[in-house]
Amino acid sequence: MDNFYKFNKERNVTYSPTGFGKIYTDPDADKAREYFRDQKPRKMVEKTTSVDQAVKDLINDGDYIGIGGFGANRTPVAVLHEVVRQKKKSLGLAGHTATHDFQILVAGNCVDRCDAAYIVGLEARGLSKIARKAVESGAIDITEWTNAALTWRYKAAAMGVSFLPVRCMLGTDTEKYSASVEMECPFTGAKYLAVPALYPDVGIIHVHRADVYGNCQIDGIMIADQDLARASRRLIITTERLVPNEVIRRDPSSTVIPYFLVDAVIEVPYGGYPGNVAYEYFSDEAHLRDWLQAERDPDTFAEFLERHIYGVKDFNGYLETIGGLKRLQELSIQENLIEK
Amino acid sequence: MEYNDMELMICLASRYLEDNSIVVVGTGAPCAAAMLSQKVYSPRLMIMFEAGGIGPLLPSMPISVGDSRTFYRALVAGSMPEVMETCQRGLVDYTFLGGAQIDQFGNINSTMVGTDHKNPKVRFPGSGGANDLASFCWKTMMITPQDPKRFTEKIDFITTPGYLTGPGAREEAGLPPDSGPYKVITNLCVIGFDDDTKRMQVESIHPGIEKEKIIENTGFELLWADDLSVSDPPSDEELRCLREEVDPYRYIIGRS
């Protein structure tokens, strides 16, 4: 509750929140406008860098981050590994469809607060023991939301407004442990739930194609990335491949993130591994199973993290540990349903 | 043909999805039921996934509601807001949910076991899209095994709204009118909801199951339909299609 009132006290507004949950980010649209006016580059300049440099420069301890994709689908895994390697601390997280991404950040003890719509599980693959423990012990502070609520919180921010009225969560404990406010429609009198805009300090998104300026194209479903990109104060893009600007201009209807939203671009082939990247490679289910298995014993898991994250220099090093190109080719064949 | 509990539940669930309607499903049994329905009963059933897949020609069971199978040769590779807004607009007829606990009004817990939200005994994933789908879709269905721990008088956390505290409660809370739980399909019976009380009411009992067994496996008092019947067992055609076309590797049906 403290945080919720902190933002309100600053501007002398009294809300009566219907939820007990904390609000971790300031929904103020004018403060965001000011930031976007002063801090977002308008000039189309080259923004390519390395993963470790981008994490050093753009992610600070204590920041609140939003992760693109859907758990283990088009997730920016290379950046998350680097966040763990650089031992970033006290991060806030939008736990929107968070599965393997949450698991990685918990493994590095990077997160201390979370807006939770979906956490601690990996869908049909099962629950993550370490992620569960981190939440059950109270080590991570939780405010409850739903997938739609978090999606629309990004959308409010992307629209440049401080809240949106929605019709989910009403009447449930999910509402009670959220940081939403019940309101009445001024036109119809209908009851709505106001959800606050979510402006992450840093958004991290993996895409199929980007040019050096940060114009990005994504193939397949967008999940919430078009809004996350617009809501984020700073935005890190990893891309399967860098392409010439003319490739973007040839097919502008596929461009979902324009350069002026982007702060850093890094070419990371297979950057979504061990997740699925549509039309590129399927998820490595064997490796994800190994993760879940290793978590059951602390020593085994420490070794596992040493082998795959701490003991390697960068993401390419990680890909070597899982079988390199040979394994990645298998996943590509699996993704594209090629019969051999 | 012989069948197991999971096959029975999937076959029964598939019969409730009308042709030319829209369903949002997750992975696992619900997806299998929708695929089976498309192949046997409702070829023009439109399947959507919350991450953005709309109208795929599913080549196999997805592992994730956002994996590439969920929009394989789809009509639209959309987005989560697009699908959720379609639900909120009132265009989606059915959804299927699961959960750790369910009460007599069809409220579902998938968040935690325990009484202290800060230190839960067991933490589960939370709502995901479940609360949204149950708030917005016209008819919510569940496929779940039935036991007294799961079917309980008081659930520890209402993650997802059923009929909340009874008649009129959803509307009072601000949820869209005329939406709510429709069927709960278990390994023992098919349960609907009584119009007057919005409480669970058994509609049909699966072949070979005693009424007593259902009572023993439910932590609250069930209502019984006047025209209580015996569930039609899976047909040979349903089972053949389920085993050969929907889930040939028995990812879902092999588990039970």
ipTM: 0.96
* Main-chain phi, psi angles of A65, to 5 degrees: -120, 150
What gap in Å lies between CA A115 and CA A121, rounded to an integer?
A: 15
* Main-chain phi, psi angles of B135, to 5 degrees: -75, -35
**Whose CA is closest to B111, among B127, B97, B98?**
B127
pLDDT of residue B255: 55
Which residues in chain B are contacts of A119 at CB distance < 8 A? 123, 125-126
What gap in Å lies between CA A220 and CA B62, rounded to an integer?
A: 15
SS3 B183: strand
Tell me the per-residue pLDDT of A30-72, one tens digit each, with 9 for 90 and over: 999 999 999 998 999 999 999 999 999 999 999 999 999 999 9
Contacts with A319 (C-beta within 8 Å, 6 or more apart), sequence order: A270, A273, A328
**Whose CA is closest to A277, among A69, A97, A51?**
A69
Chain A within 8 Å of B186 (Cβ-Cβ)?
no
Tell me the per-residue pLDDT of B157-196, one tens digit each, with 9 for 90 and over: 999 999 999 999 999 999 999 999 999 999 999 999 999 9
Which residues in chain B are contacts of A144 at CB distance < 8 A? 111, 126-127
Q: Does residue B229 surpass a pLDDT of 90?
A: yes
Chain A interface test: which of B82, B131, B247, B252 (most A C-beta within 10 Å): B131
Domain B5-246 bears CATH identifier 3.40.50.720: no
pLDDT of residue B256: 47
Q: Pick the catalytic residue: B2, B18, B50, B203?
A: B50
pLDDT band at B125 (very low <50, low <70, confident <90, very high): very high
Chain A within 8 Å of B161 (Cβ-Cβ)?
yes
Please give the residue that has the higher pLDDT: either A87 or B252. Answer: A87
pLDDT of residue A242: 98
Which residues in chain A are contacts of B126 at CB distance < 8 A? 95, 116-120, 144, 174
Strand partners, A94: A115
First to last CA, chain B: 16
Name the residue facing A221 among B26, B77, B84 (closest C-beta): B77
* Main-chain phi, psi angles of B123, to 5 degrees: -105, 130
Superfamily per CATH, domain A2-148+199-333: Glutaconate Coenzyme A-transferase (3.40.1080.10)
**Whose CA is closest to B166, among B191, B192, B195?**
B195
First to last CA, chain A: 57
What gap in Å lies between CA B243 and CA A287, rounded to an integer?
A: 27
Q: Does A193 contact B173 at a Cβ distance shorter than 8 Å? A: no
When pLDDT is averaged across residues B74-80 and rounded to a whole number, the result is 98
Could you state, in order of their start, the residue ranges of all structural domains in chain B?
Answer: 5-246
pLDDT of residue B98: 85
What gap in Å lies between CA A153 and CA B85, rounded to an integer?
A: 13
Chain B interface test: which of A133, A168, A218 (most B C-beta within 10 Å): A168
Contacts with A168 (C-beta within 8 Å, 6 or more apart), sequence order: A146, A148, A149, A193, B88, B131, B132, B135, B136
**Whose CA is closest to A276, among A332, A338, A235, A231?**
A332
Computed on alpha carbons and rounded to an integer, the radius of gyration of chain B in Å comes to 18
Contacts with A98 (C-beta within 8 Å, 6 or more apart), sequence order: A67, A71, A114, A116, A117, A118, A119
Nearest CA in chain A to B63: A124
**3-state SS, one letter per residue, for chain A:** CHHHHHHHHHCCCCCCCCCCCCCCCCCCHHHHHHHHHHHCCCCCCCCECCHHHHHHHHCCCCCEEEECCCCCECCCHHHHHHHHHCCCCCEEEEECCCCHHHHHHHHCCCEEEEEECCCCEECECCECHHHHHHHHCCCCEEEECCHHHHHHHHHHHHHCCCEEEECCCCCCHHHHCCCCEEEECCCCCCEEEEEECCCCCEEEEEEEEECCCCCEECCCCCECHHHHHHHCCEEEEEEEEECCHHHHHHCHHHEEECHHHCCEEEECCCCCCCCEECCCECCCHHHHHHHHHHCCCHHHHHHHHHHHHHCCCCHHHHHHHCCHHHHHHHHHHHHCCCCC
- Alpha carbon of B70: minimum distance to chain A alpha carbons (Å): 9
Q: Does A135 contact B124 at a Cβ distance shorter than 8 Å? A: no
Q: Is B178 within 8 Å of B171 (Cβ atoms)?
A: no
Q: Which residues of chain A have pLDDT under 50?
A: 1
pLDDT of residue A17: 65
Nearest CA in chain B to A131: B123
- Alpha carbon of B102: minimum distance to chain A alpha carbons (Å): 13
CA separation, residue A76 to residues A158, A278, B97 (Å)? 21, 14, 29
Name the residue facing B79 among A123, A224, A279 (closest C-beta): A224
Which residue in this structure is represented by tokens 């993290």? A305
CA separation, residue B234 to residues A291, B40, B125 (Å)? 38, 12, 32
Tell me the per-residue pLDDT of A37-46, one tens digit each, with 9 for 90 and over: 999 989 999 9
**Beta strand pairing status for A234-242 and A216-217?**
unpaired
Q: Which of residues 252-291 of A touch B (CB under 8 A)?
A: 276, 278-279, 282-283, 285
Nearest CA in chain B to A117: B128
Which residues in chain B are contacts of A135 at CB distance < 8 A? 120, 123
SS3 B10: helix
Q: Is B10 within 8 Å of B242 (Cβ atoms)?
A: yes
pLDDT band at B99 (very low <50, low <70, confident <90, very high): confident
Nearest CA in chain B to A151: B81
Chain A within 8 Å of B119 (Cβ-Cβ)?
yes
Instruction: Tell me the longest C-alpha to C-alpha distance in chain A.
Output: 67
What gap in Å lies between CA A218 and CA B52, rounded to an integer?
A: 13
Q: Does B52 contact A177 at a Cβ distance shorter than 8 Å? A: no
Q: What does the DSSP 8-state code read for residue B59? A: S
Q: What does the DSSP 8-state code read for residue B69? A: G
Chain A interface test: which of B80, B86, B105, B113 (most A C-beta within 10 Å): B80
pLDDT of residue A1: 42
